[in-house]
Chains A and B, each alone.
Chain A
Amino acid sequence: SQQGEEDPQALSIQEGENATMNCSYKTSINNLQWYRQNSGRGLVHLILIRSNEREKHSGRLRVTLDTSKKSSSLLITASRAADTASYFCATPNNDMRFGAGTRLTVKP
C-alpha cells in the first residue's frame, strides 16, 4: 500500500514560475524524502527532512514538514524546463513507501 500521497497529480507551469507539490502520509515517521524521476528512468534523491525539522533548503528547493498534519510540501523556485519530471515523496518504515507522484511540466 502507498504511504505518501502527492497532490496535485499533474502540474503545468511556465519557466520562471514556482512549483509547489504536497505530500500526505499516514503513519509516524523518522524522516521524509523527496525524489525526482525523469521520464522512465531511475529516481534521484533530492532532499531528506527529519521529523524534528520544519523546513529545509537545497538550492532552488524548499521542503517543509508538518508532523501534526502528516504533510510535507516541496517548492521549486524559478523553475526551468529541465525541472520537468515526476516528483515523489517517500517515507521509510522498514522499507520505503512512495506516493504516486506529481507530474511536473515546465514550459519554456
Chain B
Amino acid sequence: EAGVTQSPTHLIKTRGQQATLRCSPISGHTSVYWYQQALGLGLQFLLWYDEGEERNRGNFPPRFSGRQFPNYSSELNVNALELEDSALYLCASSLGLAGSETQYFGPGTRLLVL
C-alpha cells in the first residue's frame, strides 16, 4: 500500500512569490493535515481538511491557504512568501474520525525562500 506522497521534495522561491505544495493521502483516508516545521523546531499545525471541507485552521495568516480535491488529495498555497516561511512542510492523512486517530506522514516538502 502506497504511503502519503508529497511533491515537490524541494522548492526554492524568492520573497513575494507564491508556492504550491501537493499531497496525496493513503488510499481510503479522507483527512489531510498540513504542518510547518521550521528548522530544529516542533510541528506547527496549519490546516485540516476532511471530505473536501476545511475543518480546522492553525494560527497562521490568510496567505496560507489550501484545498482538498474530490480524490482527497490536497494543495497548500502560500502567497506573498516571506523569508520566515522557509521550513519543512509536512502533510499527513488519517481516516478522519474527528481528527482523533493515527496520522500517517509524508516525507515533506522543504521550502526555501530567498
Contact of B42 (CB < 8 Å), options: A2, A48, A92: A2
B104's nearest neighbour on chain A, judged by CB, is A45
Q: A88-B43, A94-B99, A98-B43 are in contact. Are A41 and B58 (CB under 8 A)?
A: no
- How far, in angstroms, from A91 to B48 measured CA to CA in the complex? 15
Closest to A42 in B: B105
Q: Which residues of A does B touch, CB under 8 Å?
A: 1-2, 30-31, 33, 35, 40-45, 48, 88, 90, 92-101
Contact with A along B56-99 (1 / 0, CB 8 A): 10110000000000000000000000000000101010000011
A42, B90: Cβ atoms closer than 8 Å: yes
**Contact between B106 and A96 (Cβ–Cβ < 8 Å)?**
no
Interface residues on B, range: 20 to 34
**A-B Cβ contacts below 8 A, count:** 62
Report Cα–Cα, A80/B55, bound state, in Å. Answer: 40
CA distance A31 to B94 in the complex (A): 15
CA separation between A101 and B42, bound complex, in Å? 6
Chain B residues 30 to 66 lying within 8 A of chain A, measured CB to CB, are 33, 35, 41-43, 45, 48, 55-56, 58-59
Contact B99 A40 (CB under 8 A): no
Given A31, A48, A95, A99, which contacts B58 in the complex, CB threshold below 8 Å?
A: A95
Q: Is A42 touching B107 in the complex (CB atoms < 8 A)? A: yes
Tell whether B1 is near chain A: CB-to-CB under 8 Å: no
Contact of B99 (CB < 8 Å), options: A43, A92, A98: A92
Which of B100, B104, B105, B110 has the most chain A CB within a 10 Å cutoff?
Answer: B100
